[in-house]
Amino acid sequence: MIKFIKLKALIKIYLFRLNEYLFGYPHLKKQFRKKTGYDLNLKYPRSFNEKINWKKIYDRNPLLPIVSDKLKVRSYLIKQLGAKRANEILIPLLYHTDNPEKISFEKLPEQFVIKATHGSGANKIITSKTLLDKDELIRTCKKWLDQPYGAFKHEWSYQNIKPRIIIEEFIQENGESPIDYKFHMIHNNCEFIQVIQRRVGKEDERKMSFYDTDWKKLNIYREYPHSRGFVKPTNFQEMLELAETLSKCFDYIRVDLYSIGERVYFGELTNYPASGEGRYKPQSFDFELGEKWTLRPKYWLDESYHC
């Protein structure tokens, strides 16, 4: 029965993609218009969001699936930074499996983070193992593993990732999730930093601000409430240099980092932020950012990308 359900899902995905390809991506364009407020031009993309969508459909850099995989990305960091430096910034890995029923909860600490390797948003912060409903968590993990993440949004980099569950240490600052610093890197240059503060269990208390590399606050807004401002991390230069090193193999990528005290931690590498449907205000920022990104098929074969 399970194999039958998976086969049905694969057929559905294939037919969806075939229809999109044959008729010029009507579903993608409809969703894009709904989310951004303007029409998607894949033939002559100009805005940042349009170029993210072009990337989803046409960019086949073989590194994209590796850095999208939350387990394999660790090997990419080791290759780019060396084992010693990579292990200094990687959040300690406690466990990984493709069978959630094999998780030995008794060996885990009281707090941890559990997530799927093949998508975005499939994660949970466990702040109290004592109060945890283990059976419910196992069921949730199985649902994650059965989800073909990104298939209906044309997010190619996720399609060949083996679905697995990983468990990492819960790093925190003053009892909360640390501030998330997202470095948007275009042609190895940081064009802006998106800073997000999350409160565990309090989704409505998320705050966001945008900065340039001089830590000047930008008048840019997106879906979250805008923060009055964040203090520049004392190790900001170290974070910027890490973002530059980790982005060398890509025309665009977002490098997510955390700063706790004097220490920097790696979050993830993101190829398709908001799936290319982020509604920036003012809209002109979307197009100004797009002007800085030159699309070239098979750009990664150019020796300037150092891959």
Same domain, 228 and 256: yes
Please measure the distance between the N-terminal and C-terminal CA atoms of the chain and give it in whole angstroms: 43
Same domain, 260 and 128: no
Tell which of 170, 205, 231 closes a domain.
Answer: 170
* Within a domain: 290: yes
What pLDDT is stored for residue 199 in this prediction? Answer: 57
Tell which of 154, 170, 186 closes a domain.
Answer: 170
**Amino acid making up residue 93:** L
Same domain, 121 and 203: no
Q: Which two tokens stand for residue 151?
A: 């298939």
* Within a domain: 35: no
What pLDDT is stored for residue 39 in this prediction? Answer: 98
Q: Which two tokens stand for residue 101?
A: 């029923």
Q: What is the distance between the alpha carbons of residues 182 and 255, in angstroms, rounded to a whole number?
A: 6
Q: What is the CATH number of the domain that holds 290?
A: 3.30.470
Same domain, 153 and 266: no
Per-residue pLDDT reduced to its tens digit, 12-35: 888 998 899 899 999 999 999 999
Report, as an integer, the average pLDDT of 205-209: 82
What pLDDT is stored for residue 136 in this prediction? Answer: 97
Report, as an integer, the average pLDDT of 142-162: 92
Residue 148 is inside which H or E element, if any?
Answer: none
Same domain, 248 and 237: yes
Domain count, the chain: 3
Tell which of 170, 199, 218 closes a domain.
Answer: 170
* Within a domain: 36: no
What count of other Cβ atoms lies within 10 Å of the Cβ of residue 125? 15
pTM above threshold 0.75: yes
* Within a domain: 46: yes
Of the ranges 49-63, 221-235, 257-271, 288-302, which one carries the lowest mean pLDDT score?
A: 221-235
Reduced 3-state DSSP string for 38-93: CCCCCCCCCCHHHHHHHHHHHCCCCCHHHHHCCCCHHHHHHHHHCHHHHHHHCCCE
Same domain, 262 and 179: yes
Q: What is the distance between the alpha carbons of residues 108 and 130, in angstroms, rounded to a whole number?
A: 11
Same domain, 142 and 180: no
* Within a domain: 18: yes
Domain with 158, as residue range(s), is 92-170
Per-residue pLDDT reduced to its tens digit, 281-307: 999 999 999 999 999 999 999 887 767
Report, as an integer, the average pLDDT of 178-182: 95
Per-residue pLDDT reduced to its tens digit, 40-73: 999 999 999 999 999 999 999 999 999 999 999 9
- H helix runs in 119-267, sequence order: 134-146, 236-246
* Within a domain: 206: yes
Cα angle 203, 209, 212 (rounded to 5 degrees) comes to 150
Same domain, 65 and 186: yes
Same domain, 210 and 298: yes
* Within a domain: 59: yes
The answer to whether the CB of 97 falls within 8 A of the CB of 83 is no
- Residues with Cβ within 8 Å of residue 151, at least 6 apart in sequence: 13, 16, 17, 158, 159
* Within a domain: 108: yes
Same domain, 23 and 112: no
What pLDDT is stored for residue 274 in this prediction? Answer: 95
Same domain, 140 and 64: no
Count, residues in the chain: 307
**Amino acid making up residue 2:** I
Reported as half-sphere exposure (CB side, CA atoms, 13 A), residue 267 has a value of 22
Of the ranges 26-35, 56-65, 102-111, 200-209, which one carries the lowest mean pLDDT score?
A: 200-209
- Residues with Cβ within 8 Å of residue 293, at least 6 apart in sequence: 48, 51, 186, 187, 251, 252
Same domain, 190 and 249: yes
